[in-house]
Amino acid sequence: MKIIIDQDKCVASGQCVTAAVDVFDQRDEDGIVVLLNDNPPEDLAADVHQAAAVCPALAIVVED
């Protein structure tokens, strides 16, 4: 699994952090997405896919 984020698109909704807190974080100054792990273990796959699905800005792409 490989995750690509787009910080320019991100609108800081925080939905990805709620879905997968071990994989996504938010920048202190403006809440924009930060990737903690671009290749997380398989047992987090469902959470990561949900994070991408609920991102309102389509700023997360997951390649399996």
**Considering the rule CB under 8 A, would residue 45 count as an interface residue with another protein?**
no
Q: Please give the Cα distance from 22 to 8 (Å, whole number).
A: 22
Q: Is 7 in the site for another protein (CB under 8 A)?
A: no
Tell which one of 2, 4, 14, 36 touches another protein (CB under 8 A).
14
Task: State the number of binding residues for another protein (CB under 8 A).
Answer: 21
- For the record, the structure tokens of 4 come out as 């690509």
Tell me the C-alpha distance between 40 and 35, whole Å. 10
Query: Among 1, 12, 35, 45, which residue interacts with another protein (rule: CB under 8 A)?
Result: 12
